[in-house]
Amino acid sequence: MPRLVAEVRNDKLGERVVKRAIRGRETGKIAPLLQKVLVLLLDGAAQLKQLHWTVKGPHFGPIHTKLDEIVDRLRSGADDVAERLTALGIAPDGRTGTVASATSLKAAPEGFVADSSVVTLTSDMLFALSGELQAGIGGLGDVDPVSQDLLIGITAEVEKQLWMMQAQEG
Ligand SMILES: [Fe+2]
């Protein structure tokens, strides 16, 4: 079981130093699951920002605004996942090259995109994201309930945004 460990030692000047850490977590299992979600959230935010800029049509206003809200939620989720990795002593990798090569999300089209297509593309992406998050939740249950809880919260937000986006499809 995971446990909190505090090690007391003396530094070079003889001062007492306490190092606190989380030990006993199966970081080999946790890291790839959280890293995958981090990549998808970062890519999802970048793709939706692109659509925020390129959406065109009679429903431009609300979609343009809504996309920025979703981007903010995904970025916030990515930050939480990256910092959870760090708290476990694992370095997150959110570099653009890593995200580009590891993502499984469909790329946003080049150029301007009709508002109706943007709604469909965004719904498809949020649906795909939700599926990946559900897989992560399933994988984390036995190894780190705290990370699992984090993904559950992000999934709830993604699925809420999916509902709102789909509602625009009629
Ligand atoms: Fe903007």
* Cα of 132 from ligand 1 centre, angstroms: 27
pLDDT in tens, 43-85: 999 999 999 999 999 999 999 999 999 999 999 999 999 999 9
pLDDT in tens, 92-119: 999 999 999 999 999 999 999 999 999 9
Overall fold of domain 25-167: Ferritin (1.20.1260)
Residue (of 129, 115, 114) closest to 168 by Cα position: 115
pLDDT at 2: 62
Residue (of 169, 82, 63, 94) closest to 124 by Cα position: 169
CA 168 – CA 164 distance, rounded (Å): 7
Q: Please give the radius of gyration of the chain, using alpha carbons only, rounded to the nearest integer.
A: 19
* Cα of 47 from ligand 1 centre, angstroms: 13
* Cα of 68 from ligand 1 centre, angstroms: 7
